[in-house]
Amino acid sequence: MQARAPGKVILSGEHSVVYGAPALAVAIKKHTYVSFKPVTESKTINTLFAGISSGMHYPLHALSHLKHKLDNRFEQFLKGDLPVRGIMSQPDDLLVYAMTTLMHHLPVPGRVSSTSYLPMPGRLLSESDLPLGAGMGSSASAIAATLVLFEHLLDKPLTLDQRFEMIRFCERLQHGRGSAIDAATVTYGGLNHIQAGKVASIDQHLGAHWYWIFTGSPTVSTGECVQSVREHFEDDTALWNAFAAITRGFVDCVGDCNASETRNPHIDLIKENHRLLQRIGVVPHSALLLIDAIEADGGAAKISGAGATRGDAGGLVIAYQPDEQAMSQVMSQFPGYTWGAVEQDSQGACYVGD
């Protein structure tokens, strides 16, 4: 039994979304796959998450306790008594928490005690095309696939909106007070407009010429980056309005631009967006060199996601370059970076099969 969920890239609106501006993000054809194999003679959920851990055993009878413990730690985080990284003890906790949250939510006839929440024992496995902490939404993607998997297993489907809310709820253990961007894109797929926690799907295709480039994991977490930007720019309404205007520009032209013969307005919007991201200090020097090289060849590029307020790696960069050869040539000057075309996935998290 397997489910999968896409990753995402943010086209516009990172950071400004925190101050009420809109954001535009797209689900991409890079997936997390989560599967479950029942093991009847066992009494645990045995995790096996490729590239994440060598596996943990979670006794079924202790799952409710784990959930309460993590919920309490989140409260401590909210009070400022615990850093966000202190909420979970190990990376495996997140998907086990997601599974347990779903069980607790479901109406179980005659449920009288916490033991009636028990799921069946077995192996919970995952593998992913998404690098962790790289601005591609790996945690929301893994949570979404886990929820879909157990919804199917228990024959209790959530509505898309319920699933979106539950992903946001679980993701808070990893991201603290993050925005709805990741939960929205992994749930609904395609292009999404996110503002003040509300999501609207945009029935358009992003089109060609978009690229993602991974410039290495930032040493600073998304939460720290957001905090540092907040300290300096929280009250700069004019700045956040300028970001908002750019995102609205993207939304206005996203479908139409594909058919246009004239100079593509994406290029100017991305350049403007990049200048504003530089102003808030989230574009490290290495990313700047790459973006300058892409601009010199007639394209445009910007940080996608939190970026980094210190350290040399800037995480994910997205580029728009109509000339495919120019893109390959410029990337040959940066052999350390992985990159590829952004392929839109119109489908959100879904069940794959038995």
- Residues interacting with ligand ADP, by CB under 6 A? 32, 49, 52, 91, 94-95, 126, 128, 132-134, 136-139, 142, 174-175
Please tell me whether residue 17 binds ligand PMV under the rule CB under 6 A. Answer: yes
Per CB under 6 A, the segment of 15-23, 67-75, 241-249, 269-277 that binds ligand PMV is 15-23
Site for ligand PMV in 300-329 (CB under 6 A): 305-306
Q: Which does 132 bind (CB under 5 to 8 A by kind): ligand PMV, ligand ADP, none?
A: ligand ADP
Q: Quick one: which H or E segment has residue 64?
A: helix 63-78
Minimum Å gap between C-beta 236 and ligand ADP is: 25
Q: Measured between alpha carbons, how far is residue 82 from residues 72, 170, 222 in Å?
A: 11, 17, 16
Q: What residue number has its CB nearest to ligand PMV?
A: 305
C-alpha to C-alpha distance for 28 and 347, rounded to whole angstroms: 9
Please report where in the chains the tokens 């700047």 appear, as a residue.
Answer: 288
Please tell me whether residue 135 binds ligand PMV under the rule CB under 6 A. Answer: yes
- With CB under 6 A as the contact rule, the residue among 100, 101, 174, 179 that binds ligand PMV is 179
Of 14 and 295, which CB lies nearer to ligand PMV in the complex structure?
14
- With CB under 6 A as the contact rule, the residue among 101, 222, 273, 286 that binds ligand PMV is 222
Of 52 and 308, which CB lies nearer to ligand ADP in the complex structure?
52
Minimum Å gap between C-beta 261 and ligand PMV is: 34
Q: Which does 264 bind (CB under 5 to 8 A by kind): ligand ADP, ligand PMV, none?
A: none
Minimum Å gap between C-beta 13 and ligand ADP is: 16
In the chain, beta strands by DSSP E: 2-12, 23-38, 44-49, 56-59, 122-128, 191-195, 198-202, 210-214, 300-303, 316-320, 338-341, 350-353
State the Cα torsion 39-43-48-49 to the nearest 10°. 120
Two tokens at 329? 């040539």
Q: Which does 138 bind (CB under 5 to 8 A by kind): ligand ADP, ligand PMV, none?
A: ligand ADP
- With CB under 6 A as the contact rule, the residue among 178, 189, 314, 348 that binds ligand PMV is 178
Site for ligand PMV in 68-87 (CB under 6 A): none
Please tell me whether residue 181 binds ligand PMV under the rule CB under 6 A. Answer: yes
Closest CA to 90 of 55, 62, 137, 129: 55
Of 178 and 284, which CB lies nearer to ligand PMV in the complex structure?
178
Q: Which does 249 bind (CB under 5 to 8 A by kind): ligand PMV, ligand ADP, none?
A: none
Bridge pairing between strands 198-202 and 300-303: unpaired
C-alpha to C-alpha distance for 23 and 335, rounded to whole angstroms: 31
Q: With contact defined as beta carbons under 8 Å apart, do 97 and 173 qualify?
A: yes
What angle, 0 to 180 degrees and rounded to 10, lies between the N-to-C axes of helices 265-279 and 237-253? 160
Report how many helices (DSSP H) and strands (DSSP E) the chain contains, helices first. Answer: 11, 12
Minimum Å gap between C-beta 221 and ligand PMV is: 8
Two tokens at 309? 């307020």
| Residues forming the site for ligand PMV (CB under 6 A) | 14-15, 17-18, 135, 137, 178-179, 181, 222, 226, 305-306
